[in-house]
Amino acid sequence: MNEAQNIAALRSLATHPAARGLQDDVAVLEVGSETLVLTHDMMVEGVHFLPSQDRADVAWKLVATNLSDLAAKGAVPLGVLVGQMLGSGDARFIAGLDEALAHYGTPLLGGDTVSAADGAQAFGLTAIGRASYTPVPSRAGAKPGDILCVTGPVGAAMMGFEALRDGTGGDSLAYRRPAALLREGQALAPHASAMMDVSDGLLLDAWRMGKASSVTLMIESAAVPLAAPEHRRQDALRWGDDYQLLFTAPPDAALPMPAHRIGEVRERQGAPLMLDGRELGDPATLGYQHGG
């Protein structure tokens, strides 16, 4: 099974309301008077990071990508649990973990360590947050007439990965150490009708939002801000790893921060996504999916 098929099979198990039908990147769990936001992501050598990469950068990215899921829900991090496969660069991994957790003011609460005889290293992290605003934004809240916005440019991670892979000496920081936009997410949560982070590609993630919301998202490619050369625009729209926030909001919303309007939301018109007036119906062509 590919990633989408596997998630579809798991939906029959995820019947608790907190799971949001596995249509979101997080679980939202009400405990007494608090609303907790929980997420878990993994990173695998050769898929999410290069075998030669400094494990301190791998640890940083593991923290940031999980906290980015909390950011997309306007959550305040409470702590993390880490799964570490021992191997190359263990001390550097711990050093990077320390740097990232200190940067985001987030404590390590526990986790697990394992070892394997051979094969690629893998790491996992569970992030726990507290909702700063309820109802917690989901992918499923976009409404016809809303505007579609992104907080910043895409393509920086793509260019950083290529610089790192090719050894050109170019700036690879956006790929190695992405930023979780926690303050931005908390500010936007009261205003966004739907929100998620751009992890697997702007087009694929927009497709997922449109599908979850039962609407069609209309994107103008020229309106999307780029951190890559213009001739790489179509690649940047599909590459991912930028962790900008993609959100919809009513057209009269008083947004608390600058954002780039890249399109609008309409009643469902066939596919969940249209780019420059062209229907994009096959998610396999729009971004990164595991097991494709």
The pLDDT tens digits of the residues spanning 120-161 come to 899 999 999 999 999 999 999 999 999 999 999 999 999 999
- Which pLDDT value is given to residue 234? 96
Q: What percent of the chain has pLDDT over 90?
A: 84
Same domain, 198 and 264: yes
In a domain, 41, yes or no: yes
Cα separations (Å) of 174 from 33, 88, 160, 167, 257?
38, 23, 6, 15, 22
Same domain, 124 and 147: no
Same domain, 150 and 276: yes
In a domain, 243, yes or no: yes
Same domain, 127 and 158: no
Same domain, 89 and 127: yes
Same domain, 81 and 149: no
- Tally of domains in the chain: 2
d(CA 104, CA 99): 9
Please check the confidence at residue 30 and state whether its pLDDT lies above 50.
Answer: yes
Same domain, 147 and 124: no
- This prediction's pTM: 0.93
- Which pLDDT value is given to residue 288? 63
d(CA 237, CA 283): 13
Please check the confidence at residue 174 and state whether its pLDDT lies above 90.
Answer: yes
Write the pLDDT tens digit of every residue in 84-95. Answer: 999 889 999 999
In a domain, 292, yes or no: no
Range of the domain at 23: 3-131
Task: Place 7 in a pLDDT band, splitting at 50, 70 and 90.
Answer: confident
Q: What percent of the chain has pLDDT over 70?
A: 98
Strand (E) positions, the chain?
27-31, 34-44, 75-85, 108-114, 122-131, 147-150, 194-197, 215-219, 245-249, 260-267, 273-275, 278-279
Label residue 24 left, alpha or beta by phi (over 0 means left) and psi (-120 to 50 means alpha).
Answer: beta
In a domain, 236, yes or no: yes
Q: Which of 102, 131, 160 marks a domain boundary? A: 131
Same domain, 192 and 274: yes
Q: Give me the CATH number covering residue 261.
A: 3.90.650.10
In a domain, 115, yes or no: yes
Same domain, 168 and 274: yes
Q: Which of 131, 158, 192 marks a domain boundary? A: 131
In a domain, 288, yes or no: no
- Which pLDDT value is given to residue 5? 83
Same domain, 260 and 160: yes
Task: Place 28 in a pLDDT band, splitting at 50, 70 and 90.
Answer: very high
**DSSP three-state, residue 68:** helix
Q: Which of 98, 131, 164 marks a domain boundary? A: 131
- Which pLDDT value is given to residue 88? 82
Q: Give me the CATH number covering residue 114.
A: 3.30.1330.10
Same domain, 75 and 59: yes
Same domain, 103 and 176: no
Please check the confidence at residue 290 and state whether its pLDDT lies above 90.
Answer: no
Write the pLDDT tens digit of every residue in 184-235. Answer: 999 999 999 999 999 999 999 999 999 999 999 999 999 999 999 999 999 9
- Which pLDDT value is given to residue 284? 85
The mean pLDDT of the chain is: 94
In a domain, 148, yes or no: yes
In a domain, 291, yes or no: no
